[in-house]
Amino acid sequence: MPGSLDYDTPEYYGKRIRMVKEQIESRGINDKAVLDAMLNVPRHIFVPSGERRYAYEDRPLPIGNGATISQPYIVGLMTCLLELSSGDRVLEIGTGSGYQAAVAAQIASEVISFERVEELVRFSEENLKKAGISNVRVYFGDGTHIPTECGLFDAVIVTAASPVMPEYLIKILKEGGRLVVPVGDQFSQMLVKVKLVNKNPVVTYHGGVRFVPLIGEKGWTL
């Protein structure tokens, strides 16, 4: 019913306005498409009910199964680094609650997301449906082993820490494509962006971050 925690309300919208202004825009992210996307996506829908009172605070939150939803600033920063446009096809590795995919889907035409925890696949799909987002497809499987039939992507985002630079993801970028990924050990990483320019990867670094480890064939093992 309208007004329940599963729906947007004027109170939540007001909190979202403050989140975007105070946590995202004030820290130098001024891409209007990204700011609008984060204003439009009801973040509280993408966290467990017990955490919703904290949904618009500047911090990560637990979503179960050892996973988290990243703090709003990091979501904004990574989305900005992706340089998304309306025709882009995006791959996400690590769906989690579905929030990062939802933000990207506000700008791009299609988001394909892989999640290795079956419970989170269901959770994210439910959240995306509640938020009215229909251009995200979530798959259960190892995101470090992308089927060749998925094709090439304009942008790839990894929301877990890769132990090394994921060369296998650079190979599935289109010309001009962008990859954003945290790289490092299981306790601290560097946020890395790779852009394919004239078939050559151009690498830039965007500060220290801390993500859960990327588990899979080409990530960390359990």
The rounded distance, in Å, linking the Cα atoms of 124 and 138 is 8
Structure tokens at 80: 């900005």
Joined together, the tokens standing for residue 181 give: 């990924």
Predicted pLDDT of residue 75: 98
CA distance 94 to 72: 16
Residue identified by tokens 């090439």 is 152
Q: Where are the domains of the chain?
A: 10-209
Encode the chain (222 residues) as per-residue pLDDT tens digits.
333 456 889 999 999 999 999 999 999 999 999 999 999 999 999 999 999 999 999 999 999 999 999 999 999 999 999 999 999 999 999 999 999 999 999 999 999 999 999 999 999 999 999 999 999 999 999 999 999 999 999 999 999 999 999 999 999 999 999 999 999 998 899 999 999 999 999 999 999 999 999 999 999 986
Position 2 scores a pLDDT of 38
Q: Is 4 helix (H, G, I), strand (E, B) or coil?
A: coil
CB neighbour class for 167 (10 Å; exposed up to 12, middle 13-18, buried from 19): exposed
Torsion of CA 68, 73, 76, 81, to 10 degrees: -100
Bridge pairing between strands 136-140 and 110-115: parallel
- Residues involved in catalysis: 70
Task: Tell me the three state secondary structure of residue 97.
Answer: coil
Homologous superfamily (CATH) for 10-209: Vaccinia Virus protein VP39 (3.40.50.150)
Displacement of CA 138 from its chain's centroid (Å): 12
Which among 59, 69, 64, 126 has a CA at the least distance from the CA of 103?
69
Instruction: Give CA–CA dist 193/179, Å, rounded.
Output: 6
Distances, alpha carbon 98 to alpha carbons 20, 28, 125, 128, 199, in Å: 19, 25, 7, 7, 31
Q: Which residues, 6+ apart, have CB-to-CB distance to 123 below 8 Å?
A: 63, 64, 97, 98
pTM strictly above 0.85: yes
Give dist(CA 135, CA 114) in Å, integer.
14
Looking at the chain, list the stretches that DSSP marks H as alpha helix, in order from N- to C-terminal side: 10-19, 32-40, 72-81, 99-105, 118-130, 167-170
Name the token pair of 104: 């990207």
